Amino acid sequence: MALLEIENLRVMFGSASRPLRALDGLDLCMEQGEVVGIVGESGSGKSTAGLALMGLIDYPGRVTARRMSFADRDLLMMPESERQTLRGKDIAMIFQDPLASLNPCFSIAYQLEETLRVHQAGTRAELRSQTLALLRLVEIPDAEQRLDAYPHQLSGGMCQRVMLAMAIACNPRLLIADEPTTALDVTVQAQMLELLTGLQKQRGMALLLITHDLGVVAQVAHRVVVMYAGQVMEQGRVPDIFDAPRHPYTQALLASLPEYNVGRKRLATIPGNVPSQHERPQGCVLHPRCSNAQEICQTLVPDPAEFPNALVRCHFPLDKTVSPCKQNLTA
């Protein structure tokens, strides 16, 4: 039995007559202890997916799904009070900007204890010692002194560690990390990723990593979901997708990275821009920017097609053997 099962998850904003599809049909299945990365450009709906899983999409947003269950419990049908006990305990989330997600008016210890207070009982001394242990777990130096510090007294990297401590305080089974390292420097990002994957393995958590950085996904995730304009273009195992993507978008996205263009001056590009929510094209959302687009792509939305270990939403998926990415990378 999978930990998380999602079928055809949609999130819509705007009026009923003119809906804006922020997320348009996400299928995702996660096992206990698995790391799945969601990548995409801005506006692809990757953060919306994370928020929908947490149940943080408010009116006027509408969340629908054919099936959305966590540990065999239906997330959409359960009452809000039950959802509230799940949120922060079994499903936890960390956000991109740690300084904006911590409350500047309260100390680190208070904010960490709050999470514990909501989900479990304990005396003040117990809570404090648990908080201290959490800070030590996320490798914050001089943890005793940092307990009563306020967020502005800590650096961005330290604040993100505090956020992580808060998220894992109640031993969640699923951790959603939305761009956890985007605001950090590369050296601090490397430390943070190591800490995150270390804790994930040690506790057997499932980790859903939302990022725009393909390098981060390649290093951390087992499986990857590639999103574009609210739709899943391709999902599959990391080595398969990075070596030989089947979807033209994944292929073009990888080809536009400097890493895949070693020894060449000009970078391969994807012409045009990501369409805004108001101007999603008919048919396949990618077709105006796709080099392989044909007539059928302009009218008919492709259904996700199944391949061994992969799902691809394209009328003309690429043949694995002719994908040029791998050669450029090793050249």
Partner 1 sequence: MIMETNSSQVLVEANRVAKQYPVAQGWFKPPASLYAVDGVSFRLAAGKTLAVVGESGCGKSTLARLVAMLEPPSSGDLKIDNIQIDQASRSDLKRIRPMVQMVFQNPYASLNPRKKVAAILDEPLAINTKLNKFERKETGLAMLAKVGLQAEHYSRYPHMFSGGQRQRIAIARALMLDPKLIVADEAVSALDVSIQAQVLNLFMDLQESNGLAYLFISHNLAVVEHIADEVMVMYLGKIVEQGAKRHVFDEPLHPYTKALLASMPRLTAKFPQKRSMLHGELPSPLNPPPGCPFSNRCPHKKDACSAAKPALQDFQGRWVACSRIAEIA
> Interface with partner 1 by CB under 8 A: which residues?
41-42, 141, 155, 157-158, 185-191, 193-194, 197, 212-216, 218-222, 238, 242, 252-254, 256-261, 265-270, 273-274, 329
Least distance between partner 1 and beta carbon 174 (Å): 20
| 30 vs 63 by CB, closer to partner 1 | 30
Q: What is the DSSP-derived secondary structure letter of residue 277?
A: G
HSE, side-chain direction, 13 A CA sphere, residue 16: 0
DSSP annotation of 31 reads -
Least separation in angstroms between CB 289 and partner 1: 8
Cα-based torsion angle of the residue sequence 42, 48, 50, 55 in order, rounded to the nearest 10 degrees = 160
* CA-CA-CA-CA dihedral for 234, 239, 245, 247, to nearest 10: 0
Nearer to partner 1, 122 or 198 (CB): 198
Tallying the residues shown for the chain, one arrives at 331
The one-letter amino acid at 311 = L
168, 176 Cβ separation under 8 angstroms: no
Residue 301: how many other CB atoms lie within 10 Å: 14
Closer to partner 1 by CB, 97 or 213: give it: 213
Closest distance to partner 1 from the beta carbon of 157 (Å): 5
62 vs 212 by CB, closer to partner 1: 212
The CA radius of gyration of the chain, in Å to the nearest whole number, is: 21
CB of 178 closer than 8 Å to CB of 94? yes
How far apart, in Å, are the Cα atoms of 232 and each of 9, 18, 28, 41, 49? 11, 22, 10, 12, 11
Strand, helix or coil for residue 119? helix
The CB-of-242 to partner 1 minimum distance in angstroms stands at 6
Which residues are registered as beta bridge partners of 228? Answer: 231
Q: Report the C-alpha gap between 35 and 28 in whole angstroms.
A: 12
**Type of residue at 137:** L
CB-wise, 147 or 220, nearer to partner 1? 220
Whole-number minimum distance, CB 186 to partner 1, in Å? Answer: 4
CB of 290 to partner 1, least distance (A): 12
Residues sharing a CB contact under 8 Å with residue 135, sequence separation 6 or more, in sequence order:
108, 112, 143, 146, 147, 161, 162, 165
In 38-87, alpha helices (H): 46-54, 80-86
For residues 253 and 311, which CB has a smaller minimum distance to partner 1 in the complex? 253
Instruction: Indicate the residue among 65 and 193 with the shorter CB distance to partner 1.
Output: 193
- Give whichever of 157 and 230 is closer to partner 1, judged by the CB atom: 157
Q: Least distance (Å) from partner 1 to the CB of residue 46?
A: 12
Residue with Cβ nearer partner 1 (43 or 55): 43
Six-digit token pair at 312?
């691809």
Shortest Å, Cβ 222 to partner 1? 7
| Minimum separation from the CB atom of position 66 to partner 1 (A) | 30
